[in-house]
Amino acid sequence: MSQDILILNGVVKRFGKLVALDHLDFAVREGEILGIAGPNGAGKSTALAVCTGQLAPDAGSITFRGQTLTGRQPHEFCHAGIARTFQIPQVFSSMTVRENIEVGLEFGWHGKPRGSERSLDTVLALTGLETNQMQSAASVDLITRKQIMLAAALATDPKVLFMDEPLAGLNEAEIEIFADLIQRVNAELGIAIVLVEHKVRTLARLSSRIMILNFGQIVRLDVPDVIMSDPEIIELYLGKSHAA
């Protein structure tokens, strides 16, 4: 039985009168890939922001490996072992590819014995950035910026990695490359990944479980086969154009 490592209990997030997260209860299991899908405005990015400490919930709790993180700062979430990537890749363009990842390494290092953080070279090799590590990050293409952002997140030595629409903006061939990379990060490093993605066929291929959100509530949480054969889900929440 896989263990629950990150547990959300009754999490509520409001923006004024809008209830973006409406008493969310779910758990991320050790080493799994949990997919999250749902229509625009469903609360997917808000859920990620709450799980990684960028937003504090208005009610409810977030517990990670038995430790309550509710109300803590983002760097405390990071130091506990929770990392994230963003839909728009954020890189330091005045630095090289390697220096960008070193920032993640420094950020993730927090008094642990040196060497316990994931080594730079391991991360560079896994993400395919070894050959262009000395290149300026200003001049790289979108998929490379995504690889840099992923590598910097991995350098913080997370146990859980949250990714917001990692495949957005990539072409078909690049989607294959990046989906394969996500799978290898999960399999080779044993990191649990929570993946928000509109490309539901790829999401179904990668995920062990899929959660469907709508109006800040969980509509379904099940294995991909069940989700993908549910006509109501396809019609109501995933849209008809889910070819990818």
Ligand X SMILES: Nc1ncnc2c1ncn2[C@@H]1O[C@H](COP(=O)(O)OP(=O)(O)OP(=O)(O)O)[C@@H](O)[C@H]1O
Per CB under 6 A, 104 contacts ligand X: no
Find the binder of ligand X among 44, 84, 118, 199 (CB under 6 A): 44
Q: Which of residues 46-85 bind ligand X (CB under 6 A)?
A: 46
Which CB atom, from 19 or from 95, has the smaller least distance to ligand X? 19
What are the φ/ψ torsions at residue 181 (nearest 5 degrees)?
-65, -45
Q: What residue 41 binds from ligand X, Mg ion, none (CB within 5 to 8 A, per partner kind)?
A: ligand X
- Residue 20 near ligand X by CB under 6 A: yes
CA–CA separation, 12 vs 85, rounded Å? Answer: 22
Smallest gap from Cβ 145 to ligand X, in A, equals: 19
Nearest distance from residue 39's CB to ligand X, in Å? 7
- Is residue 43 involved in binding ligand X (CB under 6 A)? yes
Binding status of residue 151 toward ligand X by CB under 6 A: no
Closer CB to Mg ion, residue 40 or residue 131?
A: 40
Q: CA-to-CA distance for 93 and 115, rounded, in angstroms?
A: 27
Q: Considering beta carbons, is residue 45 or 214 the nearer one to Mg ion?
A: 45
Q: Nearer to ligand X by C-beta: 24 or 129?
A: 24
Q: How many CB atoms lie within 10 A of CB 139?
A: 10
CA 150 to chain centroid, in Å, comes to 9
At residue 9, φ and ψ (nearest 5 deg) are -130, 110
* CA distances for 79 relative to 107, 157, 162, 235, angstroms: 8, 9, 15, 40
**Which of 38/81 has CB closer to ligand X?**
38
Nearest to 84 by CA among 56, 49, 116: 49
Sole window of 19-27, 43-51, 113-121, 175-183 interacting with Mg ion (rule: CB under 5 A): 43-51
Q: Which residue's CB is nearer to ligand X, number 46 or number 202?
A: 46
* 158 contact choice in ligand X, Mg ion, none (CB below 5 to 8 Å, kind-dependent): none
Per 3-state DSSP, what percentage of the chain is helix, strand, and coil (rounded to 5)? 35, 25, 35
- Rounded distance between C-alpha atoms, residue 203 and residue 180, angstroms: 12
**CB atoms closer than 10 angstroms to residue 98:** 19
Q: Which residues bind ligand X (CB under 6 A)?
A: 15, 18, 20, 38, 40-46
Positions in the binding site for Mg ion (CB under 5 A): 44-45
